A and B are shown apart, each in its own frame.
Chain A
Amino acid sequence: MSGTSRAEAAASGALPAFLQSCLACATVVFPPRLACRSCGDDRFEPVPAGPGVVEQVTELPGGLRIASVRARGVLVVCSSTGALAEGDSVTVIGSPGDPAAVPAQVYLPGSAHIHNSAHTENEGTP
């Protein structure tokens, strides 16, 4: 996330969004994994999702928009209660966003609490 969009997210009370980056080879993925497909390492760190670009968008009955958003090269599935269009620049955040925000905020669930996983989920015996 750029400094500006991070500040915007914070100002709106939104949680920042994170993707998962491999400590060994810096491959970025989402959803978070237990081991890196590129190099096999199992140590990760969170990286801010940063700004994104909408690639496709659909609308569910009731009006919620669901979009494919490319952020840091990764395609993630986000939602927004505001209007979105293909090609829109958006801020990817980790909690439901403000539909009036500019640039539009899109919600990436499960992205606010990605943490350093080197010693958590896949922790072995001492």
Chain B
Amino acid sequence: MSDSVVIAGAAETPYTRHPEPRVTTAGLLVRAAREAVAAAGLRWSDVDGLGVSSFTLGPDHAVDLAWRAGLGPLRWLMEDTNGGASALNMLQHAELAIRSGQASTIVLVSGDRMDAAAFRMLVEHYNRSTEDHLVPLPATGPNALFALLTQRQMTALGLTRRDYGRIATAQREWAGRNPGAVYRTPLTLEEYLDAPLVAPPLGRYDCVPPVSGADAVVLTAAGPPGAEGGRAVRVLAVETTTGIDDQDGDGLTTGLVQAAPRAWERAGLGASDMHVFSVYDDYPAMALAQLIDLGAIAAPDAARDLAERIGTRRLPVNTAGGQLSAGQAGAAAGMHGVVETYRQLAGIAGERQVPDARFGVVTGYGMVLYRYGSCANVAVLEAVR
């Protein structure tokens, strides 16, 4: 039994737009997992729990990966299929497993070899309703759906494309300080506005570049004070809400509207206490929706806060560049924010380090059932000093 669970190490493979033929999903996952274990100062043989999320690991599953990676015997094994919400879903279960003594060292790893063929397969066969009701429109992929959602948000909050450009350009600035991001060249607001429209009002820079890569974290019970040498990050709360409505709303309110208050209560903290934010940015509108649901931005102030807090990077949001600039590595998209928040709180974020970052919040979002995402979750993390 343990009172507190920490992330003891994390890793992200380089993200690549066009993976070489020899790169495999399993290979990416194992690489990230091994690097995370090494970063935690642990041995591969210490691992007694594994959680995996991937769209392209098939026909293998978690146990195949464990076997092929030389792991075992394991006391705890899970596989999560909930896309952008999978990382925090796994974290929610893993934290409890360590707290209860069911496992001592759990690796959570997410990732995909997401080349053009894999991406097409994913979006065309995402779920039954996609196959039956969206692909035949014909519309492939979520751009059209989130274009409609963004229009609703623009109307509801009085926003223009320029306002969303604050998110994309600020994240590109952060990405410029992340050697692992695929797009690092600064992006001006004018370039953002002049980019080709993909599905109005969405332009090229509102859409995430699919990349290949993997992200992993290692969870253990907290050691005695000072044992982690400042590299451990405590998990204060993890909460999930799925299906707050029947896909018949505006999609502008996520499950965080219920999950976040529970997480804040459990952590004894609020949005104003956070030093770093990692929100699931499949589209700028969703990053904004989640910041509102977390309580970090008040809806009536959205335009002002996008310009004065996000655009200036005074509010550190998606400090590795997020999916918009670092890339969306399939199922790793949700874990990317966990790894980045860990790095910030552990003080190893390099050029983009937020000074004195003690508290951070990560969100997951995803699984479009028909019109928008149905799953949302949130984790509150604290640096162990």
Which residues of B, 102-143, contact A by the 8 Å Cβ criterion?
A: 129, 132-139, 143
Min distance, Cβ B293 to any Cβ of chain A, angstroms? 21
Contact with A107, one of B132, B137, B147 (Cβ below 8 angstroms): B137
Contact with B148, one of A58, A108, A110 (Cβ below 8 angstroms): A58
Min distance, Cβ A90 to any Cβ of chain B, angstroms? 14
Known: A64-B139, A66-B144, A75-B248. A56 touches B133 (CB 8 A): no
Contact B129 A60 (CB under 8 A): no
* Chain A residues whose CB sits within 8 angstroms of the CB of B201 once the complex forms: 58
Which chain B residue has the least Cβ–Cβ distance from A61?
B198
Contact B371 A75 (CB under 8 A): yes
Contact with B136, one of A55, A58, A75, A109 (Cβ below 8 angstroms): A109
Contact B138 A64 (CB under 8 A): yes
Contact B371 A66 (CB under 8 A): no
Contact A31 B144 (CB under 8 A): no
Known: A64-B139, A68-B148, A79-B138. A59 touches B199 (CB 8 A): yes
Bound-state CA distance A84–B199 (Å) is 14
Contact B137 A79 (CB under 8 A): yes
Contact with A66, one of B137, B152, B248, B370 (Cβ below 8 angstroms): B137
Query: Counting CB contacts under 8 A, is A29 at the interface?
Result: yes
Q: What is the predominant secondary structure among interface residues of chain B facing chain A?
A: mixed
Contact with B200, one of A59, A108, A110 (Cβ below 8 angstroms): A59
Which residues of B, 169-207, contact A by the 8 Å Cβ criterion?
A: 198-202
Contact A31 B370 (CB under 8 A): yes
Query: Counting CB contacts under 8 A, is A118 at the interface?
Result: no
Contact A77 B200 (CB under 8 A): no
Query: Counting CB contacts under 8 A, is A23 at the interface?
Result: no
Query: Counting CB contacts under 8 A, is B151 at the interface?
Result: yes
Bound-state CA distance A109–B198 (Å) is 22
* Chain A residues whose CB sits within 8 angstroms of the CB of B136 once the complex forms: 109-110
Contact with A110, one of B133, B152, B198, B371 (Cβ below 8 angstroms): B133
Bound-state CA distance A66–B198 (Å) is 12
Question: How many B residues face the partner with a CB closer than 8 A?
Answer: 25
Known: A75-B371, A79-B137. A109 touches B148 (CB 8 A): no
Contact B133 A58 (CB under 8 A): no
Contact A77 B145 (CB under 8 A): yes
Query: Counting CB contacts under 8 A, is B60 at the interface?
Result: no
Bound-state CA distance A111–B137 (Å) is 12
Which chain A residue has the least Cβ–Cβ distance from B151?
A56
Min distance, Cβ B359 to any Cβ of chain A, angstroms? 37
Contact A29 B148 (CB under 8 A): no
Contact A66 B133 (CB under 8 A): no
* Chain A residues whose CB sits within 8 angstroms of the CB of B371 once the complex forms: 68, 75, 77
Contact with B139, one of A37, A57, A60, A111 (Cβ below 8 angstroms): A60
Bound-state CA distance A111–B151 (Å) is 25
Query: Counting CB contacts under 8 A, is B246 at the interface?
Result: yes
Which chain A residue has the least Cβ–Cβ distance from B198?
A61
Bound-state CA distance A91–B152 (Å) is 22
Contact B370 A77 (CB under 8 A): yes
Bound-state CA distance A58–B203 (Å) is 12
Which chain A residue has the least Cβ–Cβ distance from B148?
A56
Contact A60 B199 (CB under 8 A): yes
Which residues of B, 195-252, contact A by the 8 Å Cβ criterion?
A: 198-202, 246, 248
* Chain B residues whose CB sits within 8 angstroms of the CB of A56 once the complex forms: 147-148, 151-152
Bound-state CA distance A60–B134 (Å) is 13
Known: A31-B129, A66-B199. A77 touches B137 (CB 8 A): yes
Bound-state CA distance A55–B145 (Å) is 13
Apart from A64-B138, A77-B137, 9 more pairs, CB < 8 Å: A29-B246, A37-B246, A58-B151, A60-B199, A67-B148, A68-B148, A79-B138, A109-B133, A110-B133
Q: Can you offer 14 A-B residue contacts whose CB atoms are under 8 A?
A: A56-B152, A58-B148, A58-B200, A60-B199, A64-B139, A66-B147, A68-B148, A77-B145, A77-B371, A78-B137, A79-B137, A79-B138, A109-B136, A110-B133
